[in-house]
Structure 1
Amino acid sequence: MTILPAPMAEIHRGPLAESLHSGHAVICDASGQIVECWGDPQAMILPRSSAKMIQALPLVASGAAAAWHLMPPQLALACASHEGAPLHVAAVNAWLEDLGLGDDDLRCGPQPTRDAALKRQMILDGSAPCQVHNNCSGKHTGFLTLTAHLGAGPDYVEPDHPVQLAVRDAFEEVTAEHSPGFGIDGCSAPNFATTMHGMARAMAWFASAHQRPDALSRAGAQLVEAMYSYPDLVAGEGRACTLLMRAVTEPVAIKTGAEGFFVAMLPQRGLGIALKIVDGATRASECAIAALLVRLGVADPAHPDVKRFLNPEIRNFRGLLAGEIRPAPGLLPEA
C-alpha cells in the first residue's frame, strides 16, 4: 500500500490557498517507536546536512575530539551548516591551524560566504571564496581531525576511507536500519540513505543519549549539548536553526538539511523529529518544523522568531502584505 505525502504548508494569497507543499514527518520516542507521523514513515530519504551530528559521532566516540582537546564550540561547528561569517571562518581556520593543516587540506570545495557584509568586502577586495567559507567546513575539519587520529590518508571523503566507514557504521547504529546506499552531497561527502522512521529514530536516540553510559551515547549527548549551547555556530544570524534554538522554551537541538529536510532533538522529552518536504522547499520545511515545535509545547507561536517561520508574511514589490505561509491543518495543536 502506497502512503502519499501529507500536506505540510500552505501559501495563502487573498482568499485562496494558492500553493501547497506536502511531505513526511515522524516523531519518535526514546524507544524508537513512532509517537506521531504524517505521510509515509517508510519513505526512503537522503537527510543531507540534517545528518551532520551523526557524521560527527565517530569524531567524539573514537577519542579523537578528546585527543585534540576539542571544545563544545568546535563540536557545534562539526554539526554546522554555517553562514561562512567571520566568526565561523575564524573558528575553522584556528581549528585547522591546531591540526597543522590549511584550507587546501579540506575536500568540501569553495563556496561564497552567505554573510552579506563579508561578501561585499570580499568583492571589493577582489578576494575569491575559500573552502573555509563553505557551510560544511566545520564538518570537514572534524573529518580531518578523525583522519589524523586514525593515521589515515588525506582523501577522507572517499566512501571506502576509514572516516566514512566509521560514519556509515554510526549511521546504521543510530537509525537501527541498514542503509541501502548513499548520494554524494554538495560538500563531496557520502550522504547515507535511510527511512523517515530511521531518521526520526536516530534523532530520538540523540535526544535520549544523555541517559545511557556507552561511549557512542556519551558522544551523542556532547554533540546535542554543543548544538543548543552554541546556536550561532550551527547556522548564523537570520537562519531558522539558530533563531529557533534561541526561541524555544527548553533546550532543543535543531538542524536543517538541503532539499526541505529538518530534524530536531528534544533532550528533556527524549523525542526526535524528522521532516521532509518532497518538493525540497525550504520555506515549507521551516514553517512545518516550527509548527511541530509548537505542537510539542517547546515553542511559543507568539514569539517573534517562531512566528517569522510559522507564519511568514508575503509582501509584494511595494511592501504591501499580499499573503502568508501557514502550517497545513493538522500540524498545529487544536485550540
Structure 2
Amino acid sequence: MTDFNNSANPILVQSYRGGIVESFHRGSFCVVDKKGEVIWSMGDIQQLSFPRSALKYFQQIPFLLSGGFDHLGFGPKELAIMCASHNGEDMHLSVVNDVLSKVKLNKDSLQCGAQQPTRKSDYIRLIKNDLGPSCIHNNCSGKHAGFLAYCVQQDYSIIDYLNLQHPLHQAIKAVTAQFCEMNSDDLSVGVDGCSAPIFGMPLYNQALAYKNLIAPMPWKNEAMDSACKRIVHAVTNYPELIAGTKRYCTDLMRVTNGRIVGKTGADGVYCLSIPEKNWGIAIKVDDGKMGPQYQVAHGLLSALGLLLPQDIEALKSHGYCENFNFAGNSVGYSTLVPLNPPL
C-alpha cells in the first residue's frame, strides 16, 4: 500500500502562516488519455491504494446489469444516491428511505454504522429533537440501500450482504477488475469505513477505471455501455445528491454541467472522468487529508484547460482555502503548488 516513508512523491499543497510554509501535503496523480496512455503524472502512480468511495460508481453497475434496478422502478435520483457520499441532509435521507421502502425495508436493515450528519446544523437539529445519528445518516447509506435492493431483487441473503464472498461483492469485484484492466486476483482487499468490502489497485489503474467509465471500449456490450451512461447522467443531473451543500463533487458537476464527472474517496482520493476527451484522472494525497485532494483536483482541471473562466471563479473557494483561528480571524491560507502540464 502507500509508503509513508517515501518522500519521492512531490509536495502538491502548501499551507502558509505569517508568510512562511507551515505544513505541506505530498501526493501523486495520474492523467490517462482514451488509449490508456499516461499524458501527465507526478509521483508514484504504481503505488497501491484503495479508491474508497471513488469506487461507488462501479459498485452499482451489477445492479443495473441485472435488470433489477429497472424492475423496481428506480430512476436517476435513486441511482445518484446509490453512488453518493452524502452529507445526511433531508434531501439525501428522503431518497435513501424511498429506495429502502421500494423493497419493503427500512433503515434498520442498513449495516453501514451510525454517523452524524456532515453539516453542524443538521446534527444540532437531531440533538434538539432528542435524536441521535443512525445508519441512514451515514454518508454511504445510499450505497448500502442500493446493495440491499439488489440483493432483494436477486433473492440473495441480506443478513450477510457485507460478506466478501456474498454474490453481490463477487459481482462488484469482477466489474472493478474489468474497469481497472486487472486480474481480479490481483486486486487488494480491505474493509471500508462503512464495513463493505473495498478493493485496491495502483493509482494508474484507478485513472484507467474512470477513463473506461466514459470511453467506448471493445469489451463494453450494449448493456454495459448503457449502465455507464446512466451513472454519468444520474450524477451530473442530480449533483446535489452525490455530496451536498458546499461540497466539491456537487459544486464541480453543477458548475460544469456534465462536462466533468468527479467523485471523492476517503483518505485523500479524488477521481475524475472527462467525457469530452475520454480522459481519466486519479489523485491520492499521501497523508489522507480531505481538503488538499479538492485543491489538487481543482488545480489539475485548471492547468489542463478543462475549466472555463466562470468555472474557476465559481469554484475558487475549493482551490484557495483561507485558514481561520477560533476567534474567526484569518491567519493563513493553503494553496496548490504551481503545476505545468506537458501538454
TM-score range relative to shorter protein:
over 0.9
Is the Cα–Cα contact under 8 Å of residues 300 and 306 in structure 1 kept in the other structure? no
Is the Cα–Cα contact under 8 Å of residues 12 and 323 in structure 1 kept in the other structure? yes
Secondary structure at the residue paired with 1:263? strand
Indicate yes or no: 2:27 matched with 1:17. Answer: no
Distance 2:317 2:72 in 1: 39
Distance 1:64 1:58 in 2: 9
CA RMSD across the alignment: 2.1
Secondary structure at the residue paired with 1:37? strand
Match of 1:217 among 204, 225, 231: 225
Structure 1, unmatched stretches of 5+, are none
Structure 2, unmatched stretches of 5+, are 1-5
Is the Cα–Cα contact under 8 Å of residues 209 and 218 in structure 1 kept in the other structure? no
The answer for the alignment partner of 1:330 in structure 2 is 339
Indicate yes or no: 2:318 matched with 1:313. Answer: no
Distance 2:257 2:60 in 1: 26
Q: Deviations over 1:245-280 (max 9, x none)?
A: 222365211111110000111111111111000100
Q: Could you tell me the TM-score, scaled by structure 1's length?
A: 0.93
Match of 2:169 among 158, 164, 169: 164
The answer for the alignment partner of 1:64 in structure 2 is 68
The answer for the alignment partner of 1:264 in structure 2 is 272
Q: Calculate percent identity across the aligned residue pairs.
A: 32
Is the Cα–Cα contact under 8 Å of residues 244 and 254 in structure 1 kept in the other structure? yes
Is the Cα–Cα contact under 8 Å of residues 299 and 306 in structure 1 kept in the other structure? no
Secondary structure at the residue paired with 2:54? helix
Q: Deviations over 1:70-96 (max 9, x none)?
A: 100111111100011111111111111
Alignment of 1:1-335 (within 5 A): 4-154=8-158, 155-178=160-183, 179-209=186-216, 213-248=221-256, 251-300=259-308, 303-330=312-339
Deviation at 1:329, TM superposition (A): 2.5
Distance 2:78 2:26 in 1: 35
Bigger mean CA deviation after superposition, 317-326 or 23-32: 317-326
Q: Is the alpha carbon distance of 1:85 and 1:210 closer, same or farther for their aligned partners in structure 2, counting shifts above 3 Å?
A: farther
Deviation at 1:45, TM superposition (A): 0.6
Q: Could you tell me the TM-score, scaled by structure 2's length?
A: 0.91
Deviation at 1:209, TM superposition (A): 5.0
Bigger mean CA deviation after superposition, 85-94 or 145-154: 145-154
Distance 2:290 2:26 in 1: 12
Secondary structure at the residue paired with 1:193? strand
Distance 1:308 1:333 in 2: 26
